[in-house]
């Protein structure tokens, strides 16, 4: 385009859109960030969903990957008010006998709590925790030859396994259940290849620095990123929902923090027929049904470890969790769903009025499900915290359609930007030399539909912006680390 209004436009202000905008602005370009909602953040938003004074994280809540993000760590976000709080117990996994497995920063203490599986846990995790600084750059990156191939192989070989298979390294229910809960963050059947990867990453993150939550709510991460972008000279426009390329101001590069479904709606006519065909074949995974509660008091968990945990995984044994996730993937609604729960107000008093509390939870459901899972989720909480329902002052729910209405990237309620299984792990969103390029020059994808996938880390946006800098602007920007694609 001649005489562009901006050098680059970024559409969407989720963590990846914000990361992309910052990278481009850091390079000295003029950048416009467009957001369809009135508030920035995408999945990083916090609001009074139930009662006045009760602040709930609308989507993401606990942020081990944000705190450990190689790109976010280079930014002065504390200057803009971002403060992380790290619970003493990263995650607790209760059982019906009143005990719980507790994931804490100390690898030794976590292993010791697993009884007969202490040695097996140490053998599996100790090398990976020690080697994480040398492989994090490769794990959170598009496919390339690793900088430290032997260390990466030590991670990659167990990471490729189905969680149900890797869990056989443990003999007891505590260790198996703990690992199953971690792996269930993959949002796919635990019998699938690569489901062990996310479980290992989350365990490593806990032992490297815990699972922090941002004071004031997840919105504070988005606010800090946006403030830094504006301080660099970037421009932000909210309330601008982009439905076609014709709406965009002239720019040499446009980066979309959207998934393939939205890209086809916005710019389908400008894309090649082959690329459109690839995007239409992109698969979305299970959806999420979410409940937020305003509570009169903390959740009365039976296991004391759960009262000290920022996150609780409610699902019992490996077999039970595997059955629940498998059923949801097959289009069913299990009576005992695996529930991911966070209790931020126990650690952050800004989340609720004095003496009151909030809680946040969701379970996986079939993509597009409209079934109300409130009763099933609350039964699971009550199972491990008798008397929980008596403390509920108000609740707010999101089914998959409401999730997608809130954030169109959550197609069918899929909060991961598309299924992250072996079939799409290396070809996300299409099989191309660079996953961030579209078929039209100057147009790029920077969302969680590109590598390394879902999670609040900004690395999808970081790599997409670097790709645009090289392709369009020919800028000699040194890499953050290593070789990139």
Report in angstroms the alpha-carbon separations of 328 from 38, 237, 322, 323: 34, 39, 10, 9
pLDDT one-digit tens code per residue, 246-265: 999 999 999 999 999 999 99
Residue 7: the pLDDT is 98
In b/e form, how buried is each residue of 207-237, taking b as 16+ CB within 10 angstroms? bbebbbbbbbbbbbbbbbbbbbbeeeebebe
Quick check: 482 pLDDT over 50? no
Residue 264: the pLDDT is 96
pTM over 0.85: yes
- Are 135 and 151 in contact, with CB atoms under 8 Å apart? yes
pLDDT one-digit tens code per residue, 51-61: 999 999 999 99
Quick check: 126 pLDDT over 60? yes
Quick check: 481 pLDDT over 80? no
What domains does the chain contain, in order, with CATH numbers?
6-48+55-82+214-282+415-473 (3.50.50.60), 109-209 (no CATH)
Smallest CA-to-CA distance from 36 within 324, 318, 274, 236 is with 236
With cut-offs at 50, 70 and 90, classify the pLDDT of residue 483. Answer: very low
Residue 1: the pLDDT is 41
pLDDT one-digit tens code per residue, 147-205: 888 888 999 999 999 999 999 999 999 999 999 999 999 999 999 999 999 999 999 99
Q: What is the percent of the chain with per-residue pLDDT over 70, rounded to a whole number?
A: 97
State the DSSP code for 339: E
- Across the chain, mean pLDDT equals 95
pLDDT one-digit tens code per residue, 133-153: 998 888 888 877 788 888 889
In b/e form, how buried is each residue of 112-130, taking b as 16+ CB within 10 angstroms? ebbeebbebbbebbeebbe
Place of tokens 């050098």: 7
Give the span between the Cα atoms of 171 and 52, in whole angstroms. Answer: 47
pLDDT one-digit tens code per residue, 84-100: 999 999 999 999 999 99
Quick check: 62 pLDDT over 50? yes
DSSP state string for 145-160: --SSHHHHHHHHHHHT
Residue 143: the pLDDT is 77
Q: What is the percent of the chain with per-residue pLDDT over 90, rounded to a whole number?
A: 89
Residue 478: the pLDDT is 60
* Token pair of 58 as six digits: 């609308």
- Are 338 and 55 in contact, with CB atoms under 8 Å apart? no
Q: What is the mean pLDDT of residues 207-219?
A: 97
* Range in 222-226, 419-423, 439-443 with the lowest mean pLDDT: 419-423
Residue 4: the pLDDT is 77
With cut-offs at 50, 70 and 90, classify the pLDDT of residue 484. Answer: very low
Give the span between the Cα atoms of 419 and 429, in whole angstroms. Answer: 10
Give the span between the Cα atoms of 338 and 316, in whole angstroms. Answer: 8
- Are 385 and 302 in contact, with CB atoms under 8 Å apart? yes
């Amino acid at each position: 385009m001649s005489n562009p209004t901006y050098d680059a436009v970024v559409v969407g202000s989720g963590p990846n859109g914000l990361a992309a905008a910052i990278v481009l602005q850091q390079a000295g370009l003029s950048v416009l960030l467009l957001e369809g909602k009135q508030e920035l953040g995408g999945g990083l938003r916090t609001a009074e969903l139930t009662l006045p004074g009760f602040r709930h994280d609308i989507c993401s809540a606990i942020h081990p990957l944000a705190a450990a993000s190689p790109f976010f760590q280079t930014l002065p976000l504390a200057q803009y008010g971002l403060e992380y709080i790290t619970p003493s117990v990263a995650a607790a996994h209760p059982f019906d006998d009143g005990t719980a497995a507790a994931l804490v920063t100390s690898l030794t203490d976590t292993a010791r709590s697993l009884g007969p599986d202490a040695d097996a846990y140490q053998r599996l995790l100790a090398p990976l925790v020690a080697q994480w600084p040398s492989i994090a750059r490769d794990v959170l990156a598009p496919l390339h030859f690793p900088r430290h191939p032997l260390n990466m192989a030590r991670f990659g070989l167990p990471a490729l396994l189905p969680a149900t298979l890797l869990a056989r390294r443990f003999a007891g229910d505590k260790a198996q259940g703990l690992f199953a809960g971690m792996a269930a963050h993959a949002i796919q059947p635990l019998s699938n290849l690569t489901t062990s990867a996310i479980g290992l990453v989350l365990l490593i993150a806990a032992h490297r620095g815990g699972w922090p939550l941002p004071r004031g709510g997840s919105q504070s991460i988005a606010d800090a990123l946006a403030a830094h972008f504006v301080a660099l000279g970037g421009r932000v426009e909210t309330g601008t929902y982009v439905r076609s390329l014709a709406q965009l101001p002239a720019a040499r590069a446009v980066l979309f923090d959207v998934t393939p479904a939205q890209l086809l709606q916005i710019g389908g006519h400008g894309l090649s027929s082959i690329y459109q065909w690839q995007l239409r074949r992109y698969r979305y995974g299970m959806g999420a049904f979410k409940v937020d509660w305003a509570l009169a008091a903390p959740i009365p968990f039976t296991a004391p470890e759960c009262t000290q945990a920022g996150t609780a995984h409610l699902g019992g044994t490996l077999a039970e969790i595997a059955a629940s996730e498998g059923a949801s993937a097959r289009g069913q609604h299990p009576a005992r769903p695996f529930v991911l729960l966070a209790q931020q107000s126990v650690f952050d008093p800004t989340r609720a009025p004095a003496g009151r509390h909030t809680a946040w939870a969701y379970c996986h459901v079939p993509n597009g499900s409209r079934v109300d899972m409130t009763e099933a989720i609350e039964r699971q909480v009550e199972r491990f915290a008798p008397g929980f329902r008596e403390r509920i002052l108000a609740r707010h729910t999101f089914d998959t359609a409401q999730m997608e209405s809130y954030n169109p990237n959550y197609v069918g309620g899929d909060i991961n930007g598309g299924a992250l299984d072996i079939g799409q792990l290396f070809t996300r969103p299409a099989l191309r030399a660079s996953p961030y390029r579209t078929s039209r020059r100057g147009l790029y994808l920077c969302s969680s539909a590109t590598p390394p996938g879902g999670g609040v880390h900004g690395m999808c946006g970081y790599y997409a912006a670097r790709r645009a800098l090289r392709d369009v602007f020919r800028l000699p920007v040194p890499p953050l680390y290593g070789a990139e694609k």
